[in-house]
Amino acid sequence: MNENSSADLAALLCSRLCHDMLSPVGALSNGLELLADETDPQMRQQCMDLLEQSAKTSTDKLKFFRLAFGAAGGFGEMVEVGEAKSVIDALVANAKRVEVNWAMDAAKLPKDAVKVLLNFAHIALDALVRGGTLDIGAEMRGGNSEIVVRASGPKIAFDETIGHALQHDLPASELSSRTAPAHMLALMAEKSGGTLQYQLDEESLVLGAVLPSPDGLIG
């Protein structure tokens, strides 16, 4: 990936982050405006509740994107699975009618595997627009990180250009802030010699990855 392409991808990822942060940050601004003009104690309490919820949602999303797009877990090569689990649980808690099930067979995962896990969970959660179940599993086996995320629910909403981006079949000129995270994962998988795949039907979306672990890392 050349320097210009890297800059373009970074810009698209920033656009995605800003798009997702706009709603909770905007709610904070609206809440502050209402609070400044409101004198009724009950209404002021409702404003405070709105501010509290919006602040929590903003914090949860920032924690997620720090791990999903940024330097996950600091400078170490392995990341605590519990850290990834907590930020995904927070996103699910802010969603409507979505239940999450976990099957994690490792206390830590390589940094790139955690990025894949987080972004898969985000893609799958976005597909559950009418609610449903999010099943997330990961393990280290035979020197590989294996990750599976399944979204199950009525009328799965999945833009298959995201799938094309995951499989590195989407031209760079057609990338958008919506497909940039999937493109980032495809580049990571290609660099490590790993594979990404997806399967889609009307009521389920399954995302899978097999990523060779960096030399010297074990689960």
CB 94 within 8 A of CB 60: yes
Range of the domain at 49: 3-212
DSSP state string for 29-60: HHHHHHHHH---HHHHHHHHHHHHHHHHHHHH
Q: Which stretch of DSSP H or E encloses residue 141?
A: strand 132-141
- Does 59 reside within a domain? yes
> Lowest mean pLDDT: which of 41-50, 114-123, 189-198, 201-210?
41-50
- Does 217 reside within a domain? no
Mean pLDDT value across residues 33-60: 85
The CATH number of residue 131's host domain is: 3.30.565.10
Question: How many domains does the chain divide into?
Answer: 1
- Does 136 reside within a domain? yes
pLDDT on residue 20: 86
Say what percent of the chain tops pLDDT 70: 93
Mean pLDDT value across residues 112-130: 95
- Does 219 reside within a domain? no
pLDDT on residue 76: 63
The mean pLDDT of the chain is 88
- Does 218 reside within a domain? no
pLDDT band at 216 (very low <50, low <70, confident <90, very high): very low
Over residues 6-27, the pLDDT tens digits come to: 788 889 988 888 888 888 888 8
- Does 151 reside within a domain? yes
- Does 120 reside within a domain? yes
Of 96 and 115, more confident:
115
pLDDT on residue 215: 61
DSSP state string for 94-140: HSSSEEEEEEE--SEEEHHHHHHHHHHHHHHHHH-TT-EEEEEEEEE
Q: Please say if the pLDDT value at position 102 is more than 80.
A: yes
CA distance 207 to 27: 32
- Does 20 reside within a domain? yes
Q: Please say if the pLDDT value at position 72 is more than 60.
A: no
Its sign, for the CA torsion 154, 158, 163, 169, is positive
Chain-centre distance for alpha carbon 138: 15
Q: Please say if the pLDDT value at position 199 is more than 90.
A: yes
Over residues 135-177, the pLDDT tens digits come to: 999 999 888 999 999 999 998 999 999 999 999 888 888 899 9
Q: Six-digit token pair at 208? A: 């899978």
